[in-house]
Amino acid sequence: MASIESLLTTADLPDSPTPRLDAELLLAAALGKPRSYLRTWPERELDAVQQAAFSESLARRRAGEPIAYILGLQGFWSLELEVAPHTLIPRPDTELLVETALALLPATAASVLDLGTGTGAIALALASERPAWQVSGVDRVADAVALAERNRARLGLGNARFCASHWFSAVADQRFQLIVSNPPYIAAGDRHLAEGDVRFEPSSALVAGEDGLDDIRLIIEQAPTYLAPHGWLALEHGFDQAEAVRALLQARGFSAVESRRDLGGHERISLGCFNHE
């Protein structure tokens, strides 16, 4: 049997940008231990079952499968979320949308809608930070709704709820002080669709027409019907789409339209307020 240190030293992940981290995460999962265990007990030898599990995980990672899908878990905000191949993997970039949303409304009672919720990451992050908010997450994929509900139940967040809906179809009689979304925004012919983790993620959650703006157009057009007076809409979009999204918001009658930059300096969030005047 091989030791922890020897397995980490010989793990071969040539195409990964973080080979040592990947190997540590996969080995810790095979052992059912935290990563700190690997450094505390480097001489520990794996049994045959553990070594087989680690070898299988390494093979999947060598084939390009994202670590999050192999482990079935991904950290987002302060939460650990179950993930699966029928949803996007929550990414640190999307935490900017959470930060933006939290700053738009006070911590008092409010109704909030997360469109295309996937794992429930955005909705659950908001619910965890604002106990007085009632946060609804919707997704047209039934498996995603079930996954988001499992995450909600495991985290014990009673102020969040999830239901199946194609954008606004299931919330016809409701009004929200805030609507947020990380919708599909990649153009159909974008070369990045054939690279990295997105090769394994559902294209329906990534691609939105020839210019990547089809779903954003629909959301901006329909959102005012579901916003309370002076309600906010905040959207994540591509790094080069901010100007187009601002123009769409302004043309639909939103005010206070602006974009927010991520840590890389790219405008990745655009938002506006609808006054119903």
CA distances from 172 to 165, 168, 225, 258 (A): 10, 7, 9, 27
| Distant-in-sequence, close-in-space partners of 48: CB < 8 Å, separation ≥ 6 | 1
How many CA atoms, within 13 angstroms, populate the side-chain half-sphere of residue 72?
Answer: 5
pLDDT of residue 119: 96
Residue type, 25: L
Residue 160 burial (10 A CB sphere; 0-12, 13-18, 19+): buried
pLDDT of residue 134: 98
The Cβ of residue 44 has, within 10 Å, a number of other Cβ atoms equal to 15
What's the pLDDT tens digit per position in 196-246?
Answer: 666 655 656 555 566 778 899 999 999 999 999 999 999 999 888 999 999
Taking the alpha carbons at both ends of the chain, their separation in whole angstroms is 72
What's the pLDDT tens digit per position in 95-116?
Answer: 999 999 999 999 999 999 999 9
Q: Where are the domains of the chain?
A: 4-64, 86-274
DSSP H or E stretch at residue 101 = helix 95-104
Domain 86-274, CATH homologous superfamily name and number: Vaccinia Virus protein VP39 (3.40.50.150)
pLDDT of residue 41: 87
Q: Extract the residue ranges of the chain whose pLDDT is less than 50.
A: none
pLDDT of residue 266: 93
